[in-house]
A and B are shown apart, each in its own frame.
Chain A
């Protein structure tokens, strides 16, 4: 174990890869940039908030290493930690744009969103994904998943977006941890005490066999460094979020009458016949679809009654030059875990397919079609087969598609008349330039249900609710969300179910205003530049960005 990489802490890991004497840490422990949100909840903070940013050289090439400390709060991403990663990636992007090549390397040892700063975590993770996609036009963005924590939650969606993933056999990768699936879907869906099942399903050897990591190397500093140098030199890219037709074909060929097991899936994965998939625009149907706020507003905004689609949960249609996309529930869906409108495998890939086609169609047009996301997603799908197949890559595919569309110049606007939760929101909503929400008590906007969040952070639901009173980012309602400053507009006086002609016209007007106000903005910066964000909501974020820029 003398040269074990996994046994090292985040800072030592970064140093171990860099050429001697070339390292320089940015916003390190002595800069005192700690999370302002942990102490009010009675949690001990860390001086670097669990993120080590280090510039230096590997084999003579300029690199930026972002190393997540898995031992501090499970490597969870909060406001400060998230802003450190985003700010550093954006500086690296700027350098690459200016012809100064710098290779970003991200070491993932993370449970995803830090639940104690839930909504900050989600915002930051979407911003990380956005920066990664922009960077990939210039350089490969290499990911290392050494273990022990592995890569979970929103950061596994990020992992799927990275150019190339190197791991050891001491890591696991998945969207939802087994405990959360057990909490949400029951022990028969996924038994979180069955360690063999967990490792066989989420462990990196299985992930390697089914295209979800690219390399499993020995746990030694030398082996990892050798791989990193090789992947940088050969500009490796797995294009993991571009296999949309492959996965939609795979899902067509999946036998949903039986519970999926590993040998059956491995066989299916190897024998998929890939065919071109296209999700045509929604058409008027004869039968009412499963009721939801998302469906109601989609139908009213597009004027399509009883909208139906070949993928029953993914509706899209053009109206007045704008493309509306909604993920809706379907009580009879063949995939049981998406019947309440959750974002599952098919939803992620189908949305990616729709958005990719819009971008391709408008490729040579000077004015790009606006994309309006109608948001009512209660969460991502919690299920065993979802994890085995790799739901994080499905969600990564739609997040990547939206980010690419925006970066190509498509205005991407989210309209939120319903829930906007967790991985569902990352896949379908958080890549938009502007967020518009209805001021309605029924809307939940969060990273995890109360029951699961309480279980994972080892608190009672009462304790969790107490914490939400002090930390707006922990709250579940839209009024507290507004305090973060991320919203373009919180629309008062229109309820989630009140899609009258007059209200629809008003929402359309607000969407048009938002589009007109973009003035070519293709970034996500708006979120921390609003008056609320500057005054209170993203103060720590802005401070981090300033420090990173100064020290870069």
Chain B
């Protein structure tokens, strides 16, 4: 298990907290919370040694969607594709009016 921490200078405020995903094998859960501080991503991952991969996946996500949020991720060995999918899903939840 490894804990990772990243910061981003993104400024698009989000309106509500959201949660998606399950800490299943090869999967992860993602929580977005609104914040007025710097965007922060805290990751607990079961797969050690992938800091650079996480950094790349997150950078690509925030380049495209510069949301300002406090993000928590609990990951149980998901691939970058799955990570990106869940982040995008969380974003969709934000815009879901239900």
Contacts and interface: CB of A to CB of B under 8 A. Distances in A.
Instruction: Answer yes or no: do A and B interact.
Output: yes
Interface of A: 9-10, 28-30, 39, 42-47, 69, 71-73
Interface in B57-92: 72, 74-76
30 contacts: A9-B22, A9-B24, A28-B19, A29-B19, A29-B29, A30-B17, A30-B19, A30-B31, A39-B1, A39-B44, A43-B1, A43-B46, A44-B1, A44-B44, A44-B46, A44-B76, A45-B23, A45-B74, A46-B22, A46-B29, A47-B29, A47-B72, A47-B74, A69-B22, A71-B23, A71-B24, A71-B25, A72-B23, A72-B24, A73-B23
A44 B45 contact: yes
Contacts of A30: 17, 19, 31, 33
Contact of B23 (A28, A39, A44): A44
Which of A29, A39, A45, A73 counts the most B-chain CB atoms under 10 A from its CB? Answer: A29
Interface residues of B, number: 18
Which of B23, B27, B33, B75 counts the most A-chain CB atoms under 10 A from its CB? Answer: B23
A356 B17 CA distance: 51
Nearest to B47: A44
Main secondary structure of the interface of A (DSSP, over half): loop
A329 B31 CA distance: 52
Contacts of B46: 43-44
Cβ-closest 3 pairs across A and B: A71-B24, A29-B19, A42-B1
Given A47-B72, A73-B23, 20 more contacts: A9-B22, A9-B24, A28-B19, A29-B29, A29-B31, A30-B17, A30-B33, A39-B1, A39-B44, A42-B1, A43-B46, A44-B23, A44-B44, A44-B76, A45-B44, A46-B23, A47-B19, A69-B24, A71-B27, A72-B22
Interface in B10-43: 17, 19, 22-25, 27, 29, 31, 33
A73 B46 CA distance: 12
B16 to A, nearest CB: 10
Nearest to B48: A42
Interface of B: 1, 17, 19, 22-25, 27, 29, 31, 33, 44-46, 72, 74-76
A403 B12 CA distance: 56
Nearest to B20: A29
A9 to B, nearest CB: 5
Nearest to A11: B22
Contacts of A10: 22
Nearest to B21: A9
A31 to B, nearest CB: 10
Contacts of A72: 22-24
Which of A44, A47, A71 counts the most B-chain CB atoms under 10 A from its CB? Answer: A44
A64 B38 CA distance: 39
Contacts of B31: 29-30, 47
Nearest to A9: B22
Nearest to A29: B19
A69 B22 CA distance: 8
Contact of A44 (B17, B33, B74): B74
B22 A71 contact: yes
Nearest to A25: B19
Contacts of A43: 1, 46
A13 to B, nearest CB: 12
A73 B74 CA distance: 13
Nearest to A40: B1
A28 B75 CA distance: 18
Nearest to A45: B74
A70 to B, nearest CB: 9
Nearest to A69: B22
B41 to A, nearest CB: 15
A102 to B, nearest CB: 25
A47 B19 CA distance: 9
B32 to A, nearest CB: 10
A53 B44 CA distance: 24
A32 to B, nearest CB: 9
Nearest to B16: A30
Contacts of B22: 9-10, 46, 69, 71-72
